[in-house]
Amino acid sequence: MSKIGFTLAEVLITLGIIGVVAAITIPELMTAHKAHRLRTQFLKSYSTIQQVFKQIEADDISIDPTTYVRNNIPDGVFYNTFKKYLTGIIDCGLNSNKPLPCYKLNDTKKGYKQLTGDTLLFIDYFDDGQIVLQDGTSIFFEQPNNTYIWVMVDINGFKEGPNRMGYDLFVFQLLDEELRTMGDPKTMYNDLKQYCNINSNRHFNGIACAQRAKSEADYFKWVIKNVK
């Protein structure tokens, strides 16, 4: 009575085919999963900031950058107003030298870099207030000479990395009492070819990527595949 089954060669061929298919599909699935997570974190952070701005406006509190001066009492820098509308935060303060999850500005060996990772960003852009949300998101404020206000968001926190502008660090500008993604045509850095391009050598390369992250559904897939 004959037995029906697979030969060893057939089994090995089948396993080989499965291995090839897995090698092709698994990295793509992992990329898609990571990209989805980053996009979700970005949109959540963007929504959180917008809601705070709306609450500030609803309370008839000024969001005009010229009304916030660093040494003024009681509010001074804008972050002092902003943080009042969030609960359960870690307040890292101004010129933060607190340990993780805060970003220590005096640690010159570790810091945020531009998109391609070859240039550290000046710590001056992180010294006007820093808070960490309950989910680990870090929010920084920049308002030099009370002429403009930037809100910078590290969507997964400094501890997680890669701490790249345009990868997990995104910049928003308060403009005409409206929060806009940097890269928007009306913002300070709106040239995407110069400021959100892996082939650009601009110091602030990555600063305009918030606009692409908001408007392009596959932006984070592009980042993961192209920014190493």
Please report, in tens digits, the pLDDT of each residue of the chain (228 residues total).
Answer: 555 666 777 667 777 776 776 666 667 778 888 999 999 999 999 999 999 999 999 999 988 888 887 766 556 789 999 999 999 999 999 888 889 899 998 876 789 999 999 888 988 899 999 999 999 999 999 988 778 899 999 999 999 989 999 999 999 998 888 899 999 999 999 999 999 999 999 989 999 999 999 999 999 999 999 997
The rounded distance, in Å, linking the Cα atoms of 162 and 174 is 26
**The pLDDT value given to residue 74:** 56
**The pLDDT value given to residue 169:** 98
In a domain, 19, yes or no: yes
Q: What is the total count of domains within the chain?
A: 1
In a domain, 1, yes or no: no
**The pLDDT value given to residue 217:** 94
The rounded distance, in Å, linking the Cα atoms of 100 and 86 is 20
C-beta separation of 225 from 193 below 8 A: no
- Kindly give, in sequence order, each residue whose CB lies less than 8 Å from that of residue 30, ignoring residues fewer than 6 positions away: none
Q: Count the helix, strand and coil residues of the chain and give each as a percent rounded to the nearest 5.
A: 40, 15, 45
How far CA 22 is from CA of 19, 35, 133, 166, in Å, comes to 5, 19, 38, 30
How far CA 126 is from CA of 40, 95, 134, 166, 215, in Å, comes to 24, 7, 20, 16, 26
Six-digit token string for 76: 């001074």
The rounded distance, in Å, linking the Cα atoms of 34 and 139 is 21
Query: Which residue range forms the structural domain that includes residue 220?
Result: 8-226
In a domain, 107, yes or no: yes
- Kindly give, in sequence order, each residue whose CB lies less than 8 Å from that of residue 155, ignoring residues fewer than 6 positions away: 38, 41, 42, 44, 45, 137, 168, 169, 170
Cα-trace Rg, the chain: 22
The rounded distance, in Å, linking the Cα atoms of 202 and 186 is 20
In a domain, 158, yes or no: yes
Q: Which of 155, 139, 136 is nearest to 219 (CA)?
A: 155
In a domain, 3, yes or no: no
In a domain, 2, yes or no: no
In a domain, 155, yes or no: yes
Q: Which of 185, 157, 151 is nearest to 170 (CA)?
A: 151
In a domain, 48, yes or no: yes
